[in-house]
Amino acid sequence: MSFANPIGVFDSGVGGLSVLQHMRVDLPKENFLYIADSGYIPYGDKSKDFIEQRSIALTRFFLEQGVKAIVVACNTATAAAISTLRSIYSLPIVGMEPAVKPAVDATRSGIIGVLATTGTLESTKFAELLHRSGKGAEVIIQPCPGLVEQVERAELSVKMTRTLVENYVSPLLERGVDTIVLGCTHYAFLTSLIKEVVGLNVSIIDTGPAVSRQLRRRLEKEQLLSVENTPGAEQFWTSGPQREVQRVISRLWNRKVDVLRLPKAFTRSGTISSTPNKPLQRTRRRRAAQT
């Protein structure tokens, strides 16, 4: 199988597969390299610096593999790192942000909810987005700690996931929200569950389809669309526990896939010496100083 000129797609874990599903359909001839940076999940509670360094490390890997474009299939990484990536690298880099504008256009009650990670909701980029696009409605934000971890285990409909979803959406429903934006790619895998909990009168908006269309437009504009006559393929990589990630990706991708281990040089983060799954640099330094 030839694997020429792929498009690199990354997320902190398996969430970005929800975007890849749309890109697979919209761009059937393209090859995709997907990285689940699961050794460092969740990004949602990490510092901007940390996420920037991970994003740079993953981009360096993609460039070594000869990618022609990159999709940051993660709202948190887009908020933290896309400006830096674009300032360093000149290839097309498509990112994603919560679909506030479409939700403002769609709401009838004038009240919308945004479910996202703490990192996204506290970012300057999100504040700018609200300033730019949130004016036509009351926007209620809701961080959802724990949901990403449930999706990482492919526990999409167990009781604990349902309880978390109920806890996060109830305050939004009480405030009269009629449109909910899924501001984290992991949550797209919980769409059925969220729909069950919110009922038929609340619309759910996922950014995945729009990102896929944007990638297509960008490739067209740069004349980078594949001209092959054969269907494209996917390759999956991870910085996390390979077997477990392979199990979960196979489940969410609806097909048994092989997941490759990201080479060591790219599992560490450039200038920041990081420890997987530990939140912030500063905390580690302080602890080190005490011992």
Part in contact with ligand DGL (CB under 6 A); list of ranges 51-59, 178-186, 191-199, 236-244: 178-186
Nearest distance from residue 227's CB to ligand DGL, in Å?
Answer: 32
- In this complex, which beta carbon is closest to ligand DGL, that of residue 11 or of residue 30? 11
Omega before 42 within 30 of 0, i.e. cis: yes
List the one residue from 80, 114, 165, 184 that touches ligand DGL (CB under 6 A): 184
How would you classify the pairing of strands 234-238 and 32-36?
parallel
The residue from 6, 8, 39, 42 that contacts ligand DGL (CB under 6 A) is 42
Does the protein bind ligand DGL through residue 117 (CB under 6 A)? yes
- Should residue 12 be labelled a site residue for ligand DGL when binding is judged by CB under 6 A? yes
Q: Does 43 bind ligand DGL (CB under 6 A)?
A: yes
Given 9, 33, 121, 148, the residue binding ligand DGL (CB under 6 A): 148
What's phi and psi for 163, nearest 5 deg?
-60, -45
Q: Residues 82 to 111: which contact ligand DGL by CB under 6 A?
A: none
Binder among 23, 27, 41, 252 for ligand DGL (CB under 6 A): 41
* Among positions 31, 38, 55, 76, the unique one binding ligand DGL when judged by CB under 6 A: 76
Residue carrying structure tokens 């409909």: 157
Instruction: Report the C-alpha gap between 29 and 153 in whole angstroms.
Output: 30
115, 141, 181, 184: the active-site residue: 184
Nearest-angstrom CA–CA distance, 229 and 3: 13
Work out how close the CB of 119 gets to ligand DGL at its nearest, in angstroms, rounded to a whole number. 7
Q: Which of 6, 44, 92, 143 binds ligand DGL (CB under 6 A)?
A: 44
Position 205 contacts ligand DGL (CB under 6 A): no
Q: Which of 6, 15, 92, 240 binds ligand DGL (CB under 6 A)?
A: 15
Q: Sign of dihedral through CA atoms 103, 37, 220, 21?
A: negative
Q: Is 74 a catalytic residue?
A: yes
Q: Per the residue annotation, which of 19, 74, 93, 94 is the catalytic one?
A: 74
144 is catalytic: no
Closest distance to ligand DGL from the beta carbon of 55 (Å) = 12
**Catalytically annotated residues:** 74, 184
**Residues at the interface with ligand DGL (CB under 6 A):** 11-13, 15, 41-44, 74-76, 117, 120, 148, 184-186
